[in-house]
Structure 1
Amino acid sequence: MVQDPKLDIEQSFWETGIVRVAGVDEAGLGCLAGPIVAAAVILPPEVTPIPGVRDSKQVSAAKRIQLLPKIQAQAIAVGVGVASVAEVDQWNVLRASYLAMQRALARVAPVDHALIDGREIYHADLGSVTTIIHGDALSYSIACASIVAKVRRDRFMQCLAKRYPGYGWERNAGYGTQQHREALQTLGVTPWHRKSYAPVQAVMQQLPLFEP
């Protein structure tokens, strides 16, 4: 049975007087197309966790949409940051994700400390941080951020899907599903594809750039 994340980690900071603790997570790291979207969520110390909030991958799309306004209502601050496809291709996907996190944290400043899902971070100025492997399953504020980032990115990809039909972005959000890969082979590469990724590069050698 999947357990809802708790506030134990946040509480350990709140008890020492560190109040503005931001949970941070991103969406879109493994996609073939679209930007990386990160979210930062700061919660009040007296917060009561919303039932059902957990790692966004463990929550249905419909449930995530229902949870988003509840998260926004109970948060002190919610910030979203984006790293573009061009930045992914220029810097690599990991460094681009750090850019998105920096931008999300800037939108909720000041931040006393950030809890970030993932492994130790190098070569990125994110301030005072604690990285937590599987943080979106352990920290409630990170789980909140994971839902915010996922919903915001999915909405953006759904808008792009109307301009670039056939890739299934309204359903796969730019991930490399079979439909997406087959569409790449027949329709070609769009300006929203990550051209530094091997599957996209392979298609670019065969087909011209897609023009809507």
Structure 2
Amino acid sequence: MAHSTLLTTGHRAKPVTQTVRAAVASVREDLDAAMQRDPATTSRLEMALASPGLHAIWVHRFAHRMWQRGGRWRLPARLMSQAARIATGVEIHPGAQIGKRFFIDHGMGVVIGETAEVGDDVMLYHGVTLGGRSLDRVKRHPTIGNRVTIGAGARLLGPVTVGEEAQIGANAVVVRDVPSYSVAVGVPAKVRSSQPVASQPDPYADPALFI
């Protein structure tokens, strides 16, 4: 009987160990990605202690796991997201799906709605809203592809799709889909370029893109 218990205990401990290792690896990924994108920070320790954007996403990942469990876990998930909002100025609904190496620079004023979907290696600046235009319980928030950059103060409203490696200019208001590898600026946002950003002579030549 004791031998069986040990086996059972060991079997249960393994997933916990794997979960902890995965969480540590994810934190390191986030820190490395943040270091690459923030020239004002000189160390992982400084980034870990002084980045509200990272604090917000770390809390969100935990709250999102709770939200996925449903039932009685959803209220604590919402309360956790509200605590993060108070502490960081970043509001992320626990239902939002966010990919790897996500980074919010400065953080203050960012709002991400319940049905938003964000890919890997996405970067947001302060004041960005991924909001909805419907009161129905449907997919009502944006879908953001991989490696997208969204400038300060931009508003993306409704179930729009932003393709991979697109750039959204500062203060743009996006209410229509944005193709991959393009640059969108203005109110309402218009696509200024549909060629890969890497091939453009100066993708930030337009003042509306300054972030």
Both structures adopt the same fold (TM-score exceeding 0.5): no
What's the TM-score once normalised by structure 2's chain length? 0.27
Q: When you count helix as a share of all residues, which structure comes out higher?
A: 1
Larger radius of gyration: 2
Higher relative contact order (CA 8 A, sep 6+): 1
